[in-house]
Structures are given as structure tokens and as C-alpha cells.
Amino acid sequence: MQHDNSLNDPTADLLTSLGIDPNQQYIPVRTLLRQLGYAPAGHEKDLRRIPVLAAGLKAMWLTDSSGARTPALCLRVDLVPLWLCTLPSARRPALAQWQHEAASILWQQSRPNGVSPADALVPAVHAQTNLEVAYTQINEAAALARQQLLAERELDRQVRDATDPGTVHLRDAGTDALVRATRQTAMVSATLSKRNDYLGIFLGLVRVFQITSLRAIPPARLQGALEWLEHWRSDIAADVPPAD
């Protein structure tokens, strides 16, 4: 793991500045803490108090350039960004900027329908530039994709466990209807036109119906979205030439 001098630069990419090797699956916790200027002992204990982080900890042996081996507490690399958000960032500009960006991503990814996108990085809708609008819409589409992924997994789990397929459903009726319609449209597209239309569907739900979450969808938007998806499936079927 290498280190550069950009940890005080708020425009720097923090993970790159910390020298994280893309081929590493686990990162030595003490190495990162020392690079950021922290005393390791207390923060290592804090890691164990957060279950999602504690589950990614692993004791490993590290070999230095002289061949000596030392034990080290390591964290799974995909959890490093979350962990960095828990550290105090006073007098650490790059880390403070990282936490602002992370706060924005979390808000955009969890924002309920109808709530302003204004956050640590972007202003309210009426004051947004074209780039800021693109940023929020891309995040909204990603949020829908994540929620769709989790919802389809839950439906599949219920199908595997159910004795009566008719009992399989998501708790919220509106969410259930939209998730099923989205899945059906994407499957029809994949079967008949050999395309992956999930992204197009999510961007359409964001742009046309201002749906930013598959949860607690306003009834008027839900009905419009379901009719739009039905038209999408009909158009796909109409465009496919008849079989020989």
C-alpha cells in the first residue's frame, strides 16, 4: 500500500490517496488509521461496535519487505468507505469532503417520493444546474434499481418457501404492483427484443412520473406508471416479427 501527499486536498480521491490496491480484498486497519493521522487502538475497538463493519473484520498475517510476518486486523475493502464515514474529520479536508459526498449519496439513495433532493452537494430543484439535475436523476434511477433488486429477491424467496404461490406478495400493494410490472416488462423485452430495459424503465419512472422510490408511491403516479409499462410491453410485442 502506497501513500501520497494529497490527504489534505479536498478535491483528491480519498481511496486513491490512501493507496488502496484494487486487487486487495482486505485492508490493514492500522495502516489506514496511521495514514489519516489517528491513533489505531481506540478506532479499532470502535470498528467492532458496528455489526456490519465487525462482520467484515479478519485477522491476517502481513509480510513486509524483509520477509517478516506480523499479525494485523484487516477490513474487507468494500466496507472501507462506510468505515471512513464514522471517523472524525476535523482538520482532514479530504476526509471531510468524502463524508459530504457520502451523505449526499445516502440521501439521494433513500429519499422518499416527493421530498426535496437538496443535500450537502446539491440545492433545491429550482436552483439546480443541468449537471446537478443529471446527478440527482442518476442517483434516483440507481435507488430504484437497488429497491427493485431487493424486492425481486424477496419475491423469489417467498416463491421458494410458499406452498401456495397465490400468497406471494410484498407488504405494500403499490410496491408489489410496480415491482411485478417492471420485472414483467424487462423480461418481455429480454425475451422478444434481446435487450436489457431495466435502466430505461428506471430512468422513465424518474423523469416521467417523478418516482424516486418504489416505496409509498403516490396513487396517481403509480397508476400512470403501471399504464406506461403496459404500453411498453405492447409496443415491444408489436415490434417483434411473427415466427416462421
Determine if the pTM surpasses 0.85: no
Give the residue-averaged pLDDT of 170-195. Answer: 94
CB 192 within 8 A of CB 242: no
Give the residue-averaged pLDDT of 103-122. Answer: 93
By percentage, how much of the chain surpasses pLDDT 70? 95
CB 182 within 8 A of CB 148: yes
Q: How far is CA 136 from the centre of its chain?
A: 13
pLDDT band at 19 (very low <50, low <70, confident <90, very high): confident
The Cα–Cα gap between 168 and 198 comes to 22
Place of cell 411485478: 180
Statement: residue 1 has pLDDT above 50: no
63 pairs with which residues across the strands? 69
pLDDT (tens digit per residue) in 58-96:
999 988 778 889 899 999 999 999 999 999 998 888 899
By percentage, how much of the chain surpasses pLDDT 90? 65
Statement: residue 3 has pLDDT above 50: no
Give the residue-averaged pLDDT of 12-24. Answer: 83
Q: Please give the grid coordinates belonging to residue 30.
A: 492500522
